[in-house]
Amino acid sequence: MRHQRLPRTWTLRPLTEAPVDGPIPATVPGCVHTDLLAAGLIPDPYRDDNETRLGWIGRTDWAYEAVFHWEDTGERRVDLVCDGLDTIADIELNGVPVGSARNMHRRYRFDLAGALRPGENRITVRFSAPYGYAEHWRAELGDRPGAYDEPYPFIRKMACNFGWDWGPTLVTSGIWRPIGLAAWSVARLARVRPFAGAAGRVRVHVDVEREPGRDGPLEVTAEVAGVAGTAVLGPGESAAVVELRVPRARPWWPRGHGEQPRYALTVALRAPGPGAGSDARLDVWRGRIGFRDVHLDTGGGAFTLVVNDRPIFARGVNWIPDDCFPHRVDRARYAERLGQAAGAGANLVRVWGGGVYESGDLYDVCDELGLLVWQDFAFACAAYPEEGPFTAEVEAEARDNVARLVHHPSLVLWCGNNENLEGYRDWGWRERLQGRSWGAGFYHDVLPKVVAEVDPSRPYWPGTPYSGAPDLPPNDPARGTIHIWDVWNRREYGHYRSYRPRFVAEFGFQAPPAYATLRRALSDDPLTPDSPGMRHHQKAIDGNAKLAAGLRPYLTVPEDFDDWHYLCQVNQARAIRLGVEHFRAQWPRCAGAIVWQLNDCWPVTSWSMVDGDARRKPAWYALRRAFDPRLLTVQPRDTGLVLVAVNDTGEPWRTPVRAARCDFGGTVLAGHGLELGVPPRGTAEVALPAAVADPGDARRELLAVTAGDRRCLWFFAPDKDLELPAPDFAAVAEPVPDGARVTVTARGLLVDLALFPDRLDPAAEVDEQLVTLLPGESVTFLVRSPAPLDPEALVARPVLRCVNDVLAPGGPPR
């Protein structure tokens, strides 16, 4: 087997009327938008409202062309291997048609016989406009309801390309993954699917493609950890299984449950026997596997992932494409973003169905970090047609991606779709469809059959939310998975406490991105919540009104932009922490909380923990506390306040606990001590006595519960109703290598103290956020910055903030 990458440098030209001419320098992998941007022919799509002037790109036909040299070294078969074509593509080599593609989500392979020649070759890839293709099939098959008035259900393409409530409408075309040539003779490895269980047993399923007329015997050898096995394919056979057993194989565990050892697996294909080429290695596959078992416990309505016979609470984050142009997301970026997920305490990433099946780098990094992967199939928030070319494309796409990803131990669940079952049942789709297909055949027939055949080692779930059977209400908290979106859309976040779910696959709350992110992306002057750029980078329906509605029950809706920006971020952080703590306190009844969402694809006000410029919002720091393996939380019950301790470690947690009801001046009004014992992977709940749980004056008191180095606070009233003292503290900033150290000592109560060094240097970041200090307490923030920072500015508004400086009399911090 010989591989040759095609050149990175191509040319691009429009094939239909467009405001640009060709040829235009192009880069592969890439897309039209990034090529036009690099050529200076369009403005940055992420700045201001530039997006609105680029809709013509998705309505234009385009051609990519390149010239490459090919040396014939005697292989009998040469294939063009396309890892990703976006989306409606027709390919010519030296003027000869060699293949076509109609699906962004799958790989293609085309035989170049009769087209490829020794020496110079010219390849042309013509892309038809995505809008034209999708609108043709919409007219042909009849419209389908969806979340947005866009034709994305009628093309097998990244749905959020057509816009979402956190993303722009930037409809792409291009060669978005590598493209090259593969030359071979006799036979090649078409598919390798290793299944490695926790007991050290490996079954390696191998499918081969034979060169026509070459039906002789073949030999497949698999080797891992010094153990090898062989299977022989007889004449004409195309599939084999090699079984191995690795003594003392160490199991792969999710993050927080053990280590993540992986083992190198090599699979080789040979043609044994006499004659020329005997025993020659025809092809080889290499990958890394982990030994683990997984199943899904759904008994009694449960939805619990079980890995190596251990039930797992999923501390999860939802993943959307990290860029509207996904070819720009390389391994380093995956490592950074997934490292942020792990740093926040997550042990699971759900790859959402409105994006793409990510590159192997995402899953490989998750393997390394111990982040479980829940993988949606690529369907989201719409009724999808099953007629025309779509059923065949969906099956091919599913087979390709399931086989491609099967060796990753981090991958633990295949899910049929995002919110389509709920849409059909609860959003009025059934009446609008008038009997037309909507995707049920995909979720209940095609996809489960593909998973059962290609990857029987993992569970399949038809969609989320889903209660376990088609005739049940899909978003029932008592069964399966639910999404909670009445909070944010209609209710304040305290309503999370009304839920007793089995597994929450989506919930979230919005906030604007970091100030430096806004300043880079927007030219608004002045910057206000309703300035033109801010409005354009808020894609949620009535988003700013919902931000204001979320502030009113707890804080205030300030007129000053800096106050608005800070309080919105505080409110998002509190919403996420309240929801996560409430759901974790219900373990083992509730077995998962997947926050919407980890990341953004551009600079935008959204539900993300990490904004579009990779800056961590305050909510990220709150999530880190809420995802702490050992969590201490005060929860309200009908009978009063209780203390819940969650121990998601393998060791018992025994510690003395002190609960104190204090006034805002720090005076202890009542105290209570107890000994806390929590079993491994368990919870403990203790009622707090009235002396500490019932305030004398709810406006001037709080409850502090301390266990070792962990503390949780409970305020008896919303901040807006508290009589917070004016901010009173001493703050000192001193330079240290690569940044600064800022120490704040409270002379009075300080609520949600935060430091925003990105306002001074966009590259600066801080190690902690939203710290509440009682009188006499101190906190030290470590700031990393490549440039020196002004010490006085570091300890002044708007860099150093607390809730007191908005809600309490006395002005800003001093």
| Enclosing H/E stretch for 731 | strand 729-736
Q: Is 74 left (phi over 0), alpha (psi -120 to 50) or beta?
A: left
Residue 243 has pLDDT above 90, yes or no: yes
pLDDT for position 272: 85
pLDDT in tens, 283-334: 999 999 999 999 999 999 999 999 999 999 999 999 999 999 999 999 999 9
Q: What are the pLDDT digits (tens) for 749-802?
A: 999 999 999 999 999 999 999 999 999 999 999 999 999 999 999 999 999 999
pLDDT tens digit sequence for 392-414: 999 999 999 999 999 999 999 99
CATH architecture, domain 186-289: Sandwich (2.60)
**H/E element, 163:** strand 162-164
User: What gap in Å lies between CA 748 and CA 729, rounded to an integer?
Assistant: 7
Q: Which two tokens stand for residue 344?
A: 């926040």
Determine the residue type at 349.
V
**Alpha helix (H) ranges present in 328-439?**
331-343, 360-369, 390-405, 420-426, 429-433
Three-state SS string across 774-794, please? Answer: CCCCEEEEEEECCCCCCHHHH
- Every domain of the chain with CATH number 2.60.40.10 lies at 186-289, 630-721
Rounded alpha-carbon distances, angstroms, from residue 551 to 180, 572, 615, 636:
54, 9, 23, 21
Residue 559 near residue 530 (C-beta atoms within 8 A): no
Q: Which helix (H) or strand (E) holds 576?
A: helix 561-584
User: What pLDDT was estimated at residue 277?
Assistant: 44
Give the sign of the dihedral formed by CA 698, CA 701, CA 702, CA 708.
Answer: negative
Overall pTM > 0.85: yes
Architecture, CATH, for domain 2-181: Sandwich (2.60)
Tracing tokens 């704040």 back to the chain, one arrives at: 744
Rounded Cα–Cα distance for residues 45 and 40 (Å): 12
Q: Phi/psi of residue 624, each to 5°?
A: -60, -40
pLDDT band at 280 (very low <50, low <70, confident <90, very high): confident
Give the residue among 453, 425, 452, 451 at the shortest CA–CA distance from 439. Answer: 425
pLDDT band at 811 (very low <50, low <70, confident <90, very high): low
Give CATH 2.60.120.260 domain extents, the chain.
2-181
pLDDT band at 810 (very low <50, low <70, confident <90, very high): low
Tokens representing 398?
Answer: 């599913």
- Residue 196, CA distances (Å) to 70, 307, 308, 409, 505 in order: 40, 13, 12, 8, 27
Selection from 192, 7, 199, 174 nearest residue 101 by Cα: 174
**Fold of the 729-807 domain:** Immunoglobulin-like (2.60.40)
Strands across the sheet containing 739-746: 729-736, 739-746, 778-784, 765-766
Tell me phi and psi for residue 124, to 5 degrees. Answer: -125, 125
Rg over alpha carbons for the chain, rounded to the nearest Å, is 29
Residue type, position 196, single letter: A
Q: Compute the 3-state secondary structure of the chain and give helix, strand, coil in percent, each to the nearest 5.
A: 25, 35, 40
> What secondary structure does DSSP assign to 661-718, as a single string?
EEETTS-EEEEEEEEEEE-TTEEEEEEPPHHHHS-S-TTTEEEEEEETTEEEEEESS-
Q: Does domain 630-721 have CATH number 2.60.40.10?
A: yes
Q: If residue 449 lies in a helix (H) or strand (E), which one and from where to where?
A: helix 447-454
Q: What is the pLDDT of residues 680-736, one digit of tens each?
A: 999 999 999 999 999 999 999 999 999 999 999 999 999 999 999 999 999 999 999
In sequence order, what are the beta bridge partners of 318?
Answer: 350
N- to C-terminal Cα distance for the chain?
70
Q: Maximum distance among all alpha carbons in the chain?
A: 95
Q: How far apart are CA 765 and CA 739, in angstroms?
A: 9
Q: What is the dihedral of CA 591, 595, 598, 604, to 10 degrees?
A: 170
Query: If 0-12 CB within 10 Å is exposed, 13-18 middle and 19+ buried, where does residue 490 land?
Result: exposed
Tokens 């078969």 map to which residue? 77
CATH number (3.30.1490.20, 3.20.20.80, 3.30.2320.50, 3.40.50.1980) of 296-509+572-622 reads 3.20.20.80
How many other C-beta atoms can be found within 10 angstroms of the C-beta atom of residue 68? 16
Distance CA 802, CA 720 (A): 14
Q: What is the pLDDT of residues 482-497, one digit of tens each?
A: 999 999 999 999 999 9
Segment 523-538 mean pLDDT: 97
The interaxial angle of helices 331-343 and 360-369, nearest 10 deg, is 40
Determine how many CB atoms are found less than 10 A away from the CB of residue 736. Answer: 11
